[in-house]
Amino acid sequence: MPILSTALLVLRTLSPRSNIEFLLENKILLIFALAYLLVISIISISVTGYDKWAAKKRPKERTRESTLLLLSALGGSVAMLLTMYGIRHKTKHIKFMLGIPLIILLQLAVVLALLFLI
């Protein structure tokens, strides 16, 4: 019987809703994930705003494009995209206008895969 109950437990863990239930049951993990997204979003907004300011005032102290894209890939993509549109920064650069939405789609795909497939 212990083998059967263990097998049922494993099957329950593999069901599509289990990851969502797990996340809701482990509020610490959910709070940590939301706190991380908040912090990386604030950093992304700050760095994007600084780069806009530096473009006008201190061109030699600009933020590298690779740094902006890295912050986006680390989770600040939505905040960075909204900031870029809000302050009209990098909106004429195809690398950013296509790259960041693609990063958002990839991040969404990873989250959905983690919630429903794994």
CB 72 within 8 A of CB 92: no
Residues 59, 71, 80: CA angle, nearest 5 degrees: 75
CA gap 38, 91 in Å, rounded: 23
Q: What is the pLDDT of residue 29?
A: 82
Q: What is the pLDDT of residue 25?
A: 76
* Assigned domain for 108 exists: yes
* Assigned domain for 44 exists: yes
The two three-digit tokens of residue 80, written as one number? 């960075």
Q: What is the pLDDT of residue 100?
A: 97
Which domain range does residue 77 map to?
22-117
* Assigned domain for 4 exists: no
Q: What is the pLDDT of residue 24?
A: 73
- Residue 56's Cβ-count burial label (10 Å; 0-12, 13-18, 19+) is exposed
* Closest to 42 in 3D by CA, of 75, 89, 85: 75
Q: Provide the number of structural domains found in the chain.
A: 1
CA gap 96, 81 in Å, rounded: 8
CB atoms within 10 A of CB 1: 5
Q: What is the pTM of this model?
A: 0.78
Question: pLDDT averaged over consecutive 10-residue blocks of the chain (118 residues)?
Answer: 57 59 77 93 97 95 96 97 96 95 95 79
Q: What is the pLDDT of residue 27?
A: 80
Q: What is the pLDDT of residue 21?
A: 74
The two three-digit tokens of residue 32, written as one number? 């940590």
Please compute Rg for the chain using Cα positions: 20
